[in-house]
Amino acid sequence: MRIAVLNDVHGNVRALEAVLHEVDSVGADAIVLGGDVVAGPWPAETYALLDHVEHAVWIRGNADRELTGEGGRAPAELVDWTSSRLDRSILERLAGLPLTVSLEADGLGPVLFCHATPRNDTEIRTAISPDERWLEVLDDVEERTVVCGHTHVQFDRTVGDTRIVNAGSVGMPYENEPGAYWALLDPGVELRRTRYDVQGTLSAIVDLGMPTEWPQATADEATEYFETLAHD
């Protein structure tokens, strides 16, 4: 099965539209939505667009779960701003999504998809986390490929017998070039970047009046920062 992995859309419907157009062109059999889908500038529009996508497989992300009022890292005013734009039934559906999903991918066999790590939706591991820190969270994982998100930085590394892929972020990537980042499993792993009007989107986000600035960072900056949190 050919699988497109779209993680961390974060309510950026403009980036999402560009990626979905490209996904259509490659003919994916399934689209894995790897969490943190709607928490961002256009939550209702993002959900409405994805709710009609066939063959979509949804996974729980911490940011969407926290929109129901559960504590997290996001500022309370941002959570209130975003959640007020969504029906309660949508918030409850997102909070109740599974933590992981396992699918058979062409050339890879069974692949485990998760938002952060296989054991929870907030744990941080990065491209530079020591092998032993990864092995902790891979304990009891039978799949030999694990695809995650959460840190918004693409990477592809192997720890022990397990290949770990971060598909990056569609809507809020921390990368060195502008665009929307995702992954295609067919038959191996292809880390992809889709171009769209990033500057126009950032201007539109400012006009929305979100109670926070849209974060930006390079891959190295974000990785180094998240690695400081990985030991909390």
- CATH assignment of the domain containing 83: 3.60.21.10
User: Where does 27-123 have alpha helices with state H?
Assistant: 43-51, 62-66, 76-83, 88-95
pLDDT at 151: 97
Residue 33 lies in domain = 3-229
3-state secondary structure of 90: helix
34-38, 45-49, 101-105, 212-216: range with lowest mean pLDDT: 212-216
Beta bridge partners of 193: 181
* Domain tally, the chain: 1
What would the mean pLDDT of 110-117 be, rounded to a whole number?
98
CB atoms within 10 A of CB 9: 33
C-alpha 184/C-alpha 197 separation (Å) is 22
Looking at residue 71, what is its pLDDT? 66
pLDDT at 231 over 90: no
Query: What's the whole-number average pLDDT of the chain?
Result: 95
Planar angle of CA 64, 139, 92, nearest 5 degrees: 20
For residue range 178-191, list pLDDT tens digits in order.
999 999 999 999 99
